């Protein structure tokens, strides 16, 4: 493996809303703030008193969290150099689609301003800072328009909600999305679905007795099985065979059971999948990719069941589990017992292919 090439398929960038508003006509600033206030009210309503602060304190255990590299591109490059990382695929800490569609006036302008802020960050070094632009799905004509604009800006990564039903819209196999999938397939850009707050698990969050919400956190990861299975089994990847779908932070080991179970249903158990020409796992191995941090057991024992072309390593900078600033050492420990060819795919080759780097 070239010692100077290491790509994180999942890292994070934060934005100040003042920077978004710098790209937005002042006549829409009050509406933008009202949309944010609505989102904050929803977050507060789903938490017990003090929980949000406790999770924030946990996140800040790593010194990079909230530091200059979290917000500023020049500082980020310095942190990457310290870590020995060549490039990062970055997801914004702010889920813009959760509030952009709540803005009454200027939501299109606010969407562009948000993505322009991400583009400004990436422009500092577009070969190393790969930001994922957020595409709201409540207006497909506008989503298509925005994807075209992102391509013109030089964007390489698209982020969509994991669960479209969470924001009141049909699952992704619905024909309303077909114009969007057709364009994205044409561009060759990946669709990235990052694990995050799942509003369907609000009840679990409230019932979780652990201070750090560990039960809820595991539930969020496992709930991705619903979204991944929808992509595999619903026929959308039959209709759009060149789509690339990345699930970010799902972990690996549990996916082997999902793949086995769905194929077993399609075979031995006799479940009917009328819209599929192949078994469900075929669409996973052809179209879907997963990011991970340090699951040594899955890397050593399960990579062929999951697919060495479907797995991509990440630092998760600057979250609590991040390997920063010791990623080179972590990589050597994690991949020390697997063949060099597999290692190259997992730490940079697959990411280069998926994001057309």
Nearest to 32 by CA among 116, 121, 135, 102: 102
Identify the helix (H) or strand (E) that includes residue 169. none
CA distance 326 to 112: 36
| pLDDT at residue 4, as a whole number | 74
Nearest to 244 by CA among 308, 280, 283, 191: 191
| pLDDT at residue 101, as a whole number | 84
Question: Edge-to-edge strands of the sheet including 311-313?
Answer: 7-13, 87-92, 129-134, 157-159, 191-194, 245-248, 288-292, 311-313
In 140-165, which positions are buried (b, 16+ CB within 10 angstroms) versus exposed (e)?
A: bebbbebbebbbebebbbbbbbbbbe
Residue 88 has φ and ψ, to the nearest 5°, of -135, 135
Q: Mean pLDDT for each consecutive 10-residue tract of the chain (357 residues)?
A: 80 96 97 88 62 52 89 98 98 88 92 97 98 96 98 98 93 98 98 89 91 92 96 98 97 97 97 97 98 96 98 97 96 96 98 98
Class of residue 175 by CB neighbours under 10 A (exposed 0-12, middle 13-18, buried 19+): exposed
Q: Give CA separation, 133 vs 8, 249, 258, in Å.
A: 17, 17, 29
264: Cα separation from own chain's centroid:
29
Radius of gyration of the chain measured on its C-alpha atoms: 20
Name, in order, each residue with C-beta under 8 angstroms of 158's C-beta and a sequence gap of 6 or more. 132, 133, 135, 147, 150, 184, 189, 190, 191, 192
Angle at 269 between CA 267 and CA 271, to 5 degrees: 80
| pLDDT at residue 52, as a whole number | 52
């Amino acid at each position: 493996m070239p010692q100077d090439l290491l790509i994180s398929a999942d890292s994070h960038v934060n934005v100040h809303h003042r920077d978004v508003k710098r790209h937005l006509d002042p006549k829409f600033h009050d509406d933008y703030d009202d949309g944010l206030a609505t989102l904050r009210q929803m977050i507060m309503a789903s938490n017990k008193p003090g929980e949000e602060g406790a999770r924030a304190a946990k996140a800040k255990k790593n010194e990079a969290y909230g530091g200059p590299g979290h917000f500023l591109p020049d500082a980020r490059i310095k942190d990457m150099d310290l870590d020995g990382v060549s490039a990062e695929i970055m997801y914004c800490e702010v889920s813009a689609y959760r509030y952009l569609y709540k803005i009454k006036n200027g939501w299109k302008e606010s969407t562009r301003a948000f993505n322009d802020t991400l583009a400004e960050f990436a422009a500092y070094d577009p070969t190393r800072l790969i930001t994922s632009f957020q595409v709201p799905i409540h207006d497909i004509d506008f989503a298509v328009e925005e994807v075209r604009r992102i391509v013109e800006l030089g964007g390489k990564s698209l982020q969509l909600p994991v669960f479209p039903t969470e924001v009141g819209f049909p699952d992704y196999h619905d024909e309303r999305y077909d114009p969007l999938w057709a364009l994205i397939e044409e561009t060759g850009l990946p669709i990235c679905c990052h694990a995050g707050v799942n509003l369907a698990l609000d009840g679990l969050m409230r019932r979780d007795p652990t201070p750090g919400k560990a039960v809820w956190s595991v539930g969020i990861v496992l709930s991705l099985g619903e979204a991944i299975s929808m992509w595999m089994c619903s026929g959308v990847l039959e209709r759009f065979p060149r789509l690339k779908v990345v699930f970010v932070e799902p972990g690996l080991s549990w996916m082997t059971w999902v793949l086995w179970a769905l194929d077993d249903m399609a075979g031995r158990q006799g479940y009917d999948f009328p819209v599929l020409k192949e078994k469900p796992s075929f669409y996973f191995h052809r179209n879907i990719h997963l990011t991970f941090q340090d699951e040594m057991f899955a890397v050593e024992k399960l990579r062929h069941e999951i697919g060495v072309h479907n797995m991509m390593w990440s630092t998760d900078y600057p979250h609590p589990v991040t390997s920063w600033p010791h990623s080179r050492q972590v990589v050597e420990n994690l991949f020390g017992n697997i063949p060099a060819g597999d290692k190259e795919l997992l730490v940079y080759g697959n990411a280069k292919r998926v994001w057309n780097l």
